[in-house]
Homo-oligomer: A and B are copies of this chain.
Amino acid sequence: MLKKKITLKHIARELEVSISTVSKALKNSEEISRETKEKIQAFAKLYNYKPNNIAISLKNKRTKNIGVVIPDIVHHFFTTVVRGVEKYANTKGYNVIVCLSDESFDKEVINMELLANGSIDGFIMSLSSGTQKENDYNHLKEVTEQGIPLVLFDRITNEVECDKVIIDDAMGAYLATKKLIEQGRKRIGLITTHDYLSVSKARTTGYQKALKEFGVSEQQDLILKMPSMEMDGQLIENFIKNSKVDAILTVNEIFSIYGMQVAQDLGLKIPDDISFIGFTDGLLSKYANPSLTSIAQHGERMGEISAEMLIQKIESEEEEETYQTKILEPTLIERNSTIN
């Protein structure tokens, strides 16, 4: 009952012509007579012939696959980026191979080496925290040295020369902080992660810039650096209790959501007593109670742009040695965790 895939060779044997003739006939080559072409095309359609992708890849040295390497997929932002990449890639006939580094340097290296051996035509990736911590980018450099195009997004590094797509994280934090200041907030806290994450660092910068610009004295104790990507409720609780902040900016959604719960449990009214703004405008921001004012990172757009840049590089013949960094503007989405 198995209908195995048919090949050019089968058709050739059956119709008593050569393989080359079949190949040309199916491409409607002028070389082949109308008669023969019709015969071959009819036969091919009847047996539902489809060329083998692998054979074509080997011949063309083109796989029409692009590798997307991200730290985690159960993460709204990365998910939207993947969707953006997939959408654009699909319109250009590319498939997307997703690899998860799980925030681990080793896994990132292994995955990339695996894919780099012919499986993909280019990479789109966001650095794992492990890699940013180690500060070792040799696996990326090797890939680019082999002539495999690479686009870094969001979590990037200056150590590697390649195309990059980011949002202006500093500007996002600046906008948010400015908004809070304008609403009369005096003690604005920041909950972030370690500075080795490129985005956290940029956001901290933007936050400090706004404070300085508007003459709000910056106090060191208003910045909480979470030791890991995981939530630590106790730390946030202590921070809110002890720091006497009247507004908090966080580098992701979760910290804000959790912070709001803690604040409410402490009897604080949001946004009257304390305001919150979080990065990453995901589902949580939209559906939290109160809904969370947040800084949209436009993940899907970022994915589309990354894919566009990558495919452009893949398909351009010349080895252009010019790389660009696209910086998207973040958007402040106002909801009920700040004063309207």
List the interface of chain A (C-beta within 8 A of B).
1-5, 50-55, 57-58, 63, 65, 72-74, 76, 79-80, 82-83, 86-87, 90, 95-100, 111, 113-119, 142, 145-147, 254, 257-258, 260-261, 264, 283-284, 287-289, 319
Contact = CB atoms under 8 A, between A and B. Distances in A.
A67 B79 CA distance: 17
A54 B3 contact: no
Given A51-B117, A100-B86, A119-B54, A74 B80 contact: yes
Contact of A5 (B58, B146, B284): B146
A73 B82 contact: yes
Contacts of A86: 73, 98-100
Contact of A115 (B3, B95, B283): B95
Contacts of A76: 74, 283
A77 to B, nearest CB: 10
A79 B284 CA distance: 16
Contact of A145 (B3, B284, B288): B3
A113 B86 CA distance: 17
List the 5 closest A-B pairs by CB distance, nearest first: A289-B289, A54-B118, A53-B118, A52-B118, A257-B287
Max count, chain B CB within 10 A of own CB: residue among A76, A87, A289, A319: A289
A252 to B, nearest CB: 12
Contacts of A287: 254, 257-258, 261, 284, 288
B50 A117 contact: yes
26 contacts: A1-B145, A2-B147, A2-B319, A3-B145, A3-B146, A5-B118, A5-B146, A53-B114, A53-B118, A55-B118, A65-B97, A72-B83, A73-B73, A73-B79, A74-B83, A79-B79, A95-B97, A95-B115, A96-B98, A98-B98, A254-B287, A261-B289, A283-B284, A284-B284, A287-B288, A289-B289
